Structure formats: C-alpha cells, structure tokens
C-alpha cells in the first residue's frame, strides 16, 4: 500500500521486538558501515552531531542501528536506520557500534520507506525533499496524490517543491545555504536567465513579492519596444534615403 500513514515508515517495518533477537544483534566496526544508497538526506547538522557525540561518550549507544548486508561486498553493511548515531560515533572515536542486521527486508521496500520516513520527519532540506518526491514518482510509481497522503502535505506543495529541481545549480546552492528562501526563488522557476536575477535579488535584498514584481516587469518589457529618440528616427530616415532601403535601427 503506497499511502503509508504518518508515524509509520521504517519503525513499523522493523518492529520493536526484532532488536532483541540475539542472532541478529552484533557489534560492527564503524569502518565496515556505509550510508544506504537509498538515503535521501545528504547533509547533517554539525552542532547536532557534536551534541549527540557527547551524549554517546557519556551514556553509550542505547538503541542499536539497523543494517543490511551489502550483497556485492563481503563484510560491508548499508545503514537502514541510524545514520546520525553512526556519524556521531565517528566523532566520538568509537570503533564499534551495536547493530541489528536485517537481511530479511526487501531492499526496494527499505528504500521506499526510508524516503517516506525522512520526508515525514522534515529532516531534509528543500532540494533533498524534492529529490525524495521525484524518486518516489520515478522509482516506486507514486503519484503526487499518493505522496500527499503518505507524508501529510498538500498536492500543490509537493508539485511546487518538485519544480525546484529545474533551477540552476547556483539557485539551488543559494537555497541550500539559506541565503535565499523558497518564496524568493519560486518566481524564477522556468526562466532562462535565473542566475542574472539572483545577483539582483541578493544585492538589493528583494522580498519574495518584489521578486515577483521584478520578473513580471522584465517579462513584460521584453515585448514592449522602447520609444525611439528623435535622433534615431532622423538617422533611420537619412540612411533610408541614401541606400534606397527601408532602414530600421534597434539600439
């Protein structure tokens, strides 16, 4: 069922009793563990990781991470759940981490639910979230309505976010660095000269409403010819008389 309810995702798939099964519970060296290729989240807050690392140094790891064996490389594992804990252990210089190996779970199902869970928890930046939606549509045959029900967000919100993927690399970077908001960047979607607008928005510190007005005016002015000066009109007439041709000057 594609329309996974809020609060489900990986937790409902893994269950609570599975972590207590001794045959699946192991201490795994952290260097043998890699982020899951299905993980939509690429950036992690450094301050949060440092805080979690300090907590792990004091109290240890209370809840094991969930892993799946890499089918192609022996003794290597992909993270299903718990990447923050794994990263924090590296900061804490802990060499082994308690883990539950779940090779019984279908990889596609893990990827699908991992995407949904990350989106539900709002752990992703706008571009990662948009890429997550795009992946659900492309790889798992979700519709925008399916996604809307699964993550509890409106269809229009999802559609608008996916459109961010058509932005230039520079526009995406400004968004990721929080130099510009989605509201400021949204009016630029679909334009060819996006990067030129970015300089103006940042230099003049334009609001989202001012950006909309800027785009509207520029778009209109493309089709409205400026009134020619008297000098240009006289020059056109003179050249036409000399050459015998109908001369028009666009300056």
Instruction: Please report which residue ranges of the chain form alpha helices under DSSP H.
Output: 10-14, 46-59, 83-91, 107-120, 126-140, 144-151, 155-163, 169-176, 182-185, 194-204, 208-221, 230-243
- CA dist 189 and 208 (Å) reads 13
- CA dist 160 and 183 (Å) reads 11
For residue 138, what are its two tokens?
């492309």
- DSSP code of residue 68: E
Q: Is 83 a catalytic residue?
A: yes
- Of 17, 23, 83, 173, the catalytic one is 83
* Residues classed as catalytic: 83
């Amino acid at each position: 069922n594609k329309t996974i309810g809020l609060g489900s995702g990986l937790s409902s798939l893994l269950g609570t009793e599975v972590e207590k099964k001794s045959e699946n519970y192991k201490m795994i060296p952290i260097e043998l563990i890699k982020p899951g290729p299905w993980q939509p989240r690429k950036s992690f807050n450094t301050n949060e990781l440092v805080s979690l690392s300090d907590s792990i140094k004091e109290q240890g790891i209370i809840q094991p991470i969930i892993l799946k064996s890499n089918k192609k490389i022996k003794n290597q594992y992909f993270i299903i759940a718990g990447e923050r804990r794994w990263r924090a252990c590296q900061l804490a210089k802990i060499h082994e981490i308690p883990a539950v190996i779940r090779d019984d779970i279908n990889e596609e199902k893990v990827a699908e639910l991992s995407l949904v869970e990350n989106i539900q928890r709002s752990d992703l930046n706008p571009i990662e979230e948009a890429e997550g939606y795009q992946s659900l549509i492309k790889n798992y045959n979700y519709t925008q309505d399916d996604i809307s029900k699964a993550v509890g967000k409106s269809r229009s919100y999802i559609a608008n976010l996916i459109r961010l993927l058509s932005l230039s690399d520079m526009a995406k970077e400004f968004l990721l660095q929080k130099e510009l908001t989605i509201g400021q960047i949204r009016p630029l979607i679909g334009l060819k000269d996006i990067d030129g607008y970015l300089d103006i928005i940042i230099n003049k510190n334009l609001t989202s409403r001012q950006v909309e007005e800027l785009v509207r005016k520029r778009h209109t002015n493309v089709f409205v010819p400026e009134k020619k000066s008297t000098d240009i009109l006289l020059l056109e007439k003179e050249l036409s008389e000399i050459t015998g041709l109908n001369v028009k000057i666009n300056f």
